[in-house]
Structure 1
Amino acid sequence: MNINRRLYEQKEVILHYLRDRAAESYGEIIKIHGERDFKKRARAINKAIKDKAQTLRTIIIQRSIAQSWSKTEILNNILMITYCSYVIMIEYRNRTWPYEYMAFARRIGELWEPFCKNCFDFPARDDVELVEPPLFSEVREQLQQEIREYIENISLSELEKNQLLKYYDKVWSLVTSGEIKLELDLHFRIDGKNYNVDFKSGFQSNEKGNTNRLLLVASIYKNILSENNECLLFVRTEEDDNNHYLQILKKSEVWDVYCGNETYSQIETYSGFDIASWIAANIEWEKDLDQDTLTHFNENDLVKYLSW
C-alpha cells in the first residue's frame, strides 16, 4: 500500500490491506488461544488491528513532516485509517464473539470518542494546544497554602488562628476522603484559555454518580482553579428534555452541554475541521462492513446502532 497524502481517497485499498493483515494475525491467534477461548481471541485480534492502525498513523505522521503535508491532509488520512480499523475490528469481534445489542451499542459509542479526538490531536487550527490536566493533589496543596497564608494575616489571636485552622483541616478531611480525578477526556488551550472536555456517547437514566462527579470536577476547574477554564460536555446522541441528569448538567453554571449536531458544530469551532461533513461523506458502515457481519446485524436488529 502506497502511503501518500491522498491515501484517504482510497478507502477500499485501506480496508483490503487491513483485512489481509487481520487475517494473518487471526491465524496466529487461533494457534495460541484455540477455537474455544473466544474472549481471549477477541481481545487479541482487537489489539492486533489497533497496533497495525497505529503503525500506519506513525508512518503518516513521519511522511507528513518530511513532505510538508497540510494539516487537513494529515487529519483526513488519520480519520480514514481510524475508521477503516474500526470496520475491521467490528468484523473480527463479531466473527470471534457475535455481538448482541448491549455490547454492540456500547462499542459503537466507545469508538466515537477517540475518533472525534483526532480533530484535536491533529487540529486544522494553528492555535490549538493540548495540555495536561492538573493533579488534584497540586490543586489541594495550592489552595491550602493560600488559605493558611490568609488566616495568618487575619487579626486574631494565635489560639483563634489555630482553632480556625483546625476546623479548616476537618473540612478538608471530608473533601479528600478519596482522591478526585480531574482528568477528563480532552484538555486543550486556545488563546490562553483552557477547555476541559468530556465525551459521552449518550446519557442514560442511571447517570447519578457520573453526574455528581462531573459537577464536582467542573466546579473545581471553574471556581477554584480559575475562571479561565471552560468545561464542555460533548454528547453524541440527540437528547430530549426528559433526561433528568443531562438537564441537571445543562442548567448548572459549570458545564456547557452540546448534543448531536451541536457537538459536531462545536468540534469544528474549536478544532477548525468540519467533522460532520467528513462523517457524511466517508462513513458508510453498511457498505463497508463485510457481508457476514451485515447479515448478523440485520438478523439481530443491530443495524440501527450504526449511526454517528
Structure 2
Amino acid sequence: MKRFIFAIGALAVLSYVQTATSYKLEALPNAYTLVGEGPHWDIKTQSLYFVDIDLAKLLRYDYKTNKTYSAVLQGEKFASFIIPIKGKKDKFVVGCDRRVVIVKWDGISPIAKVVYTAHEVEFGNEYHMNRFNDAKADKKGRLVAGTMWNDQSDLFTYRKGSLYSFQKKKKAKSIVPYAGISNGMTWNDKTKKFYFVDSANYNVTEFNYNYKTGTLNGDPRVVWQHETHMPDGMTIDADGNLYIATFSGSTIYKVNPKTKKTLMEIKFPTKQITSAAFGGPNLDILYVTTSALNNEPPPAGTTYQVTGLGAKGLPMTRVRI
C-alpha cells in the first residue's frame, strides 16, 4: 500500500508507505540541477557537496542553515564530482573532462577556480569524447574515479571508459578497463567488498577489494540486474545494503547484495534519479540527486532529502592527495 501526502507551502513534501516502513521526501532549497551527481556528505562541515555536471557547477547544502550555495567552475565545461581534501581548508578534487583538478572554493562564493591539475588520463584522439563521470574515496582516502564516452547520441556503443585508482604522487592505475559508463561505487569495509555500476551493463557488480594496493581481486559477481531501469549512482548503509539510483526508473532500490533481494523501493515523482548519499548529524538522511536532461518536466532536477528510512549510512572519506 502507498500513501501520498502533499504539504502546502514553499517546501513540497511527498511520503510513501511500503509495508512497515514510512519515509518522507523533501526538496532541498535552491538545489535545482540539470544533471545533479556525486553527492558527498562531509561530516566536518555538516555539508552536502554535489555537482551539476553539464553546467560545470559546484553546490553545497549547509545542514545547519538549510541553505544551498553554488559556484560556476571558471573555465571548465564539466564538473563530474567534488570531494573535499583531507587537511586542506576550502580545497577539493573535482573531475573536469579527463583531468582530476584541485579547486579552491569557500563554499559560498559564486565562482570557484582551478588551482592545478593533479592527474590526467586517456591521452590521444581516440578518447576525445571521454570525461570523468563519478568518483569516491576509499577509507584510506584513495581516490577511485571512472570515465565514460560522452556522446549523448550514442552512449552505449563504445566501451572506452575505465575505472581508475589514484595513488598519491603515482600514475593512475586502471582497475576496471573497457567500461561503458563508469558510475556508482561504494565499499563494505567489514567484508572488504567493492561495488561498482557500469550503467551500460544495467547491473551492479561486487569485487574483492585490496585496501593496501587499491586493486580488485577475483572475478566480479553480479548482485543486481534490471532489464529496463538503468542503474546510476549508489551508496551503502551500515548494515551493508545498497541503495541503487535508477536513471530511467523514478526509483532507488534498497538491495541486500548477499541475497540479491530487493528490500525496498523508494519512489520519486521524477524519472531520472542519479545518485544518493547518507548524511545529516546522525547519518540517517538519504540525500538524492536527480536530472532534468531530455526536457524532463518539473520536479526533474530537484535534490531531495529522504527521512524515515530506519537506516543509517557510513561516514564518507575525504581524499588524501
TM-score by length of 1: 0.26
TM-score (normalizing by structure 2):
0.25
Structure with greater proportional helix content: 1
Specify the structure having the higher radius of gyration (Cα).
1
Which of the two has greater strand per residue? 2
